[in-house]
Structure 1
Amino acid sequence: MTSLARSERKADSAAADSSSPSVAARHACRAGVASSTAGVANGFVQGNLAILPEKLAASFHRFCQLNPKPCPIIGMSEVGDPRIPSLGADLDIRTDLPRYRVWRDGEVVEEPTDIMAHWRDDLVAFVIGCSFSFEEALLADDIPIRHIECGVRVPMYRTNIACVSAGPFAGPMVVSMRPLKPADAIRAVQITSRFPSVHGAPVHLGHAHSIGIADIAKPDYGDAVPINDDEIPVFWACGVTPQAVIAAAKLSFAITHAPGLMLVTDLKNKQLAVL
């Protein structure tokens, strides 16, 4: 990093409220903390990440517009600019996530804790809404969240639900799962319907095999959680969907977040609620 860039970062950090939990979370990432962000900086919006070359950005933007359940865009950078001021005054997309995934030809080749060495002047960053935002509302209504109770990442699965394609972007929807008692599941539908910009209501309840999940004990991303006999699995569209699409398209280069390790923004969850 150049001395000018360091000076700019110091100025940005000084301008940010260092006492804010969201800023503290990002600064922890810069210091090398690389753990799940579930339950971190409660009250603040978290986001999934997809970074693509400018030549693919328009097609990906269209893909997100056509698939708003799994891919609701909450922020987007200018070409070559690692900042997204609308999401955080001092935010640097190259350093402020716990862990990233670098993709080449549709395969993950590296999982670094920053992407300074991979940043290019032609890259565009997209931040996509995350279900961690509506989890706060569920917890406030005394609906338990199993992966938070277990201290693990939310389980996520590729499904047989096809996304609407745009350019090279096509593939299956990814879903996240939370086991709930039926009464809690009904309430969860009502609550999460108020948060369309972070996936909204569930896309499926009950039998996992009917959406192409062969073994619910073996998630494609994240960690397995126990499902009690009096519970049903509840599935929400998930912002990891772009990673399944990047793999299917075998893109020559892309960067994403590592599933479950999100960008913490300065937006408040309550700002996203639809009354």
Structure 2
Amino acid sequence: MNPYEQRQRFRYQKENGTTSGMCDNYLQANMIVLPEEYAFEFLLFCLRNPKSCPIVDVLEPGVTKPKIADADIRTDLPRYRIFRHGRYEEEVQDIQSVWRDDFVSFLIGCSFTFEKALLEEGMNLLHQDQKKVVPMYKTNIPCEKAGRFNGTMVVSMRALKPEEVKQAVQVTERFQTSHGGPIHIGSPEEIGINNLSKPDYGQAIDFNSKERIPVFWGCGVTPQNVCLNAKPDIMISHAPGHMLITDKLEEKQ
């Protein structure tokens, strides 16, 4: 399907699964929605932490249609999460009932965008093979603080064969609005991950550690994690692994 057709399936709740592998060649985006009073500080946080938070669009207060997609951000993602005062409240498929005119929406690049490029190089992605949401982990890597926004980086992980790692680095470094190259390779304990079988978000994948190496990329769930520390009265995000598929083609440098 093209992006518009796929978003319509989400809008009318005919489908609500992970967007990994959908609409090849089109940029996917994480989403954070905050009250306007938090917008400047959060924008500054993103600018200071571009590896985790590569901004691809910012909507003005109350605006629901982004520049990069013929979409309604209230309905056209497969799943959303609502948080109040730093606590998770619920996961929904539509946020029209909680929408406010003072909401500012941020769309942030997603590593799903570069997955097709890895597949084209002959690498199989185990989370797609196993029909799972890519595993994501909290780390001990500090982000640069901005006002009330402070915390550590979240990473996504793909287990690759040793001979694939160098090529994966070269391929993903082209995608600077989708987190770029890896931030860590191998030895998850060095970045504070003690158990790969228990991701903080997404689902664990099965792989033989003697045959594959865990490779970690910056992840757009980082701002969710950091926003919870700021405890806004309300925050809305995509559900991890369930992105906005945009009409913008991915980078081809």
3-state SS in 2 of match to 1:158: strand
3-state SS in 2 of match to 1:111: strand
Unaligned residue ranges in structure 1 (runs of 5+): 1-19
Structure-1 separation of matches of 2:52 and 2:79: 21
| Offset of residue 212 of structure 1 | 0.3
What is the match of residue 12 of structure 2?
31
What is the match of residue 110 of structure 2?
130
Q: Which amino acid aligns with 1:255?
A: I
3-state SS in 1 of match to 2:92: coil
2:48 matches 1:87: no
What is the match of residue 25 of structure 2?
43
Structure-2 separation of matches of 1:247 and 1:80: 22
Match of 1:57 among 27, 30, 39: 39
2:215 matches 1:234: yes
3-state SS in 2 of match to 1:109: strand
What is the match of residue 176 of structure 1?
156
Contact 1:227–1:233 (CA under 8 A) maintained in structure 2: no
| Offset of residue 159 of structure 1 | 0.2
| Offset of residue 251 of structure 1 | 2.2
**More displaced stretch, 215-224 vs 32-41:** 32-41
| Offset of residue 21 of structure 1 | 1.0
Match of 1:262 among 235, 243, 246: 243
Q: Which runs of structure 2 are paired with 1:245-260 in the superposition (5 Å)? A: 245-260=226-241
**Percent of aligned pairs sharing the same letter:** 47
Q: Which amino acid aligns with 1:65?
A: L
What is the match of residue 244 of structure 1?
225
3-state SS in 1 of match to 2:119: helix
TM-score, L = length of structure 2 = 0.97
| Offset of residue 249 of structure 1 | 2.1
- Displacement over 3 Å in runs of 4+: none
2:194 matches 1:214: yes
Unaligned residue ranges in structure 2 (runs of 5+): none
3-state SS in 1 of match to 2:233: coil
Q: Which runs of structure 2 are paired with 1:158-169 in the superposition (5 Å)? A: 158-169=138-149
- Larger helix percent: 1
Structure-1 separation of matches of 2:204 and 2:108: 23
Structure-1 separation of matches of 2:163 and 2:231: 42
Q: Which amino acid aligns with 2:3?
A: S
